[in-house]
């Protein structure tokens, strides 16, 4: 994980107001390979192994759909033109992380729950987390894509994590997405083939 990601990671037990303290055992080029993130509130420790942060969930493999066309489409929906910025991909879209990094400069992609691939590249930050809460501070991620089951399960958390000028992509968008997003101060600005793009009102 990129060392600056520490600033926006939070304790999944204590909630988004509780940041984590990094103890890096091994770092290369501003990326922590081995270390620990500790919560000063509940004293829980979350290990970093092979650059991935283990928040207590088993990583799952994701189908390899890493192709340039769908990454271009994803980048357009997320409104990504360049960084520095953190982008979060949850669900099947996480397979686009490497392709997205090839077409958008200076972004760090955070993936949720997805196991490392053989052709992993720098710029992918893996979080092994499950449960209803994202271990991320509020309003700090430039763009969030929630795909597959995560579109429904993490809709509200995604809306919370996205920055004031950021975008939230839901694929597929749940039927009650507009109503739920409105409660979090967001509205849908584009909708196509079951995918919705939302921005802050
Ligand atoms: Zn805690």
Q: List pLDDT tens digits, range 128-178.
A: 998 899 999 999 999 999 999 999 999 999 999 999 999 999 999 999 999
Q: Cα(200) to centroid of ligand 1, in Å? A: 29
Nearest to 115 by CA among 52, 27, 35: 52
Q: Cα(181) to centroid of ligand 1, in Å? A: 27
Cα–Cα distance between 144 and 34 in angstroms, integer? 26
Cα–Cα distance between 21 and 90 in angstroms, integer? 24
pTM of the full predicted structure? 0.95
Band of residue 78 on the pLDDT scale cut at 50, 70, 90? very high
pLDDT mean across residues, the chain: 94
Q: Compute CA distances 194 → 110, 170, 172, 173, whole Å.
A: 24, 8, 5, 6
Domains recognised in the chain with CATH numbers: 3-51 (2.20.25), 68-200 (3.40.50.150)
Q: Cα(161) to centroid of ligand 1, in Å? A: 18
pLDDT tens string 24-39 = 999 999 999 999 999 9
Band of residue 183 on the pLDDT scale cut at 50, 70, 90? very high
- Who contacts 6 (Cβ-Cβ below 8 Å, separation ≥6)? 20, 22, 37
Q: Give the pLDDT confidence score for residue 60 in this predicted structure.
A: 85
Q: Give the pLDDT confidence score for residue 65 in this predicted structure.
A: 65
pLDDT tens string 49-75 = 999 999 999 888 877 666 778 899 999
- Who contacts 134 (Cβ-Cβ below 8 Å, separation ≥6)? 12, 16, 88, 112, 154, 157, 158, 160, 161
Q: Give the pLDDT confidence score for residue 63 in this predicted structure.
A: 73
> 195-200 and 162-171 as β-strands: parallel, antiparallel, unpaired?
antiparallel
Q: Give the pLDDT confidence score for residue 116 in this predicted structure.
A: 84
Q: Cα(83) to centroid of ligand 1, in Å? A: 30
Segment 74-85 mean pLDDT: 93
Residue with tokens 């997405």: 177
């Amino acid at each position: 994980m990129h060392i600056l990601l520490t600033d926006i990671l939070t304790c999944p037990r204590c909630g988004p107001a509780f940041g984590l303290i990094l103890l890096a055992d091994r770092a290369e080029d501003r990326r922590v390979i081995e270390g620990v993130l500790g919560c000063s509130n509940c004293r829980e420790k979350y290990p970093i192994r092979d650059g991935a942060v283990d928040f207590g969930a088993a990583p799952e493999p994701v189908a390899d759909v890493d192709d340039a066309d769908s990454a271009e489409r994803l980048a357009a929906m997320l409104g990504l033109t360049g960084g520095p910025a953190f982008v979060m991909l949850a669900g099947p879209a996480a397979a686009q992380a490497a392709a997205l990094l090839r077409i958008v400069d200076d972004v760090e992609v955070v993936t949720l729950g997805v196991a490392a691939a053989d052709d992993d590249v720098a710029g992918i930050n893996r979080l092994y987390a499950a449960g209803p809460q994202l271990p991320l501070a509020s309003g700090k991620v430039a763009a969030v894509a929630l795909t597959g089951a995560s579109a429904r399960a993490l809709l509200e958390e995604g809306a919370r994590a996205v920055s004031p000028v950021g975008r939230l992509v839901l694929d597929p968008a749940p039927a009650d997405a507009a109503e739920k997003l409105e409660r979090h101060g967001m509205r849908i600005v584009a909708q196509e083939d079951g995918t919705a793009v939302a921005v802050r009102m």
